[in-house]
Structure 1
């Protein structure tokens, strides 16, 4: 699943691009681009990959990605449901996607003092943001209008959305800091191969020699190269992926914590608990209790 560099086809007179796509089954290529991306995916249940984050979503997905962060969406069947017919009824689902550059409204527009809060959220978006709650509801409605409007109204709506993003607390960071940072074209191709291999094998034991072979360099050179690009060791990076995947499984609440431990690639429960707490700040059991509590409060 090598990421594709995707250049949004901006019109010659457009400051930024807005498009609405219709589809049956959610399945986008893993890709990246130099523009910022706002995406509202109107889909009942799917999987989102953003940098080193892997998670499922329900009832639609709203994200804000900074430049060069690889991402994709995939269909994820809901366990215990008969859903085949729902995804064979024509182009019944949609996505609204906005691409813009930091200079789309002028080279220094976002650098003026009045834009300082928006500049901060643009910087934050390099890790990817998922938006939820009332903020998601408001922004998705504005994005629907954005897809239909023309002229100056589009600019006003884009700024309104960015203003909302800069003030709301209803968002979470997705990928780790420093992921996929400052890569040239050669680095991007090499890191694509490395990440593709890790993503396909992170729940199994990954040998350093195999990773070095993917990069066509020696094991010692690979360790230096990988840490320089990702700001973490290979082991730390793989543990991030495993723990993020464990969070998804804990939220689904279908397996015991011991089962999840082995499913995500750890070979003993004590190491799993220790790594989980290092990365998330709480134990897997506490994480599950917190998630169950949130779901219970939402039902009330």
Structure 2
């Protein structure tokens, strides 16, 4: 029997008798990322990076000079997973900063969640020049959307393989590990308590997204359904949807179509015009959620 089968069997049985115990174990597992080493193809880019430490200990890698582009990887991810995109951005004249999320890489912490990811983006942005763009993969994309509701200012934003609703991600995890109904409800409540925000609020449909953007997803993503991208795009009138036929959850990060679409967004005349309108009218990036 595989370890996953054993976990599912244990949760299904014990979760009916002691739902709080099982929910607590899965809550810890859900918030505690594994430390996964970089792949060989990431190492050259890692060697060429400048390691920087931000004010509160958050670690990041930096490449190039020029308008600032801030990157946030996904759960159990790494900055160098963006290797192809980083190289394209640097060649195009952008300065790229890619974060180690809380409890990932060299950044401090043992547990993380989407709210902590979002606050890390806010911390980084406070120490960087005005941001040309923020790009997030998976949970990094969800946290970037959330960060704009908490005060993050950026001219444009790109989400890649990101969930539209955090409650959906919680339910998928609970189903994946075999939590019965009562334990599932307690698990969601525990995650909400750790994040300090109701999961129902963490939903792109509730956000004010009044800046240009790009929503990217692959049809064969087995971790986050591609319908999530359609939901984000529907809630975000200024976004373009790039639906790739393949690339899974992470391989699409190296897709040339993604890099081309990002450069098109950053170079768009509409981007500068939108930024100017926000500066004149004072509209945009107002916190829509309680922090």
Same fold flag (TM > 0.5): no
Which has the bigger relative contact order, CA under 8 A and spacing at least 6? 2
With the length of structure 2 as denominator, give the TM-score of the two structures. 0.28
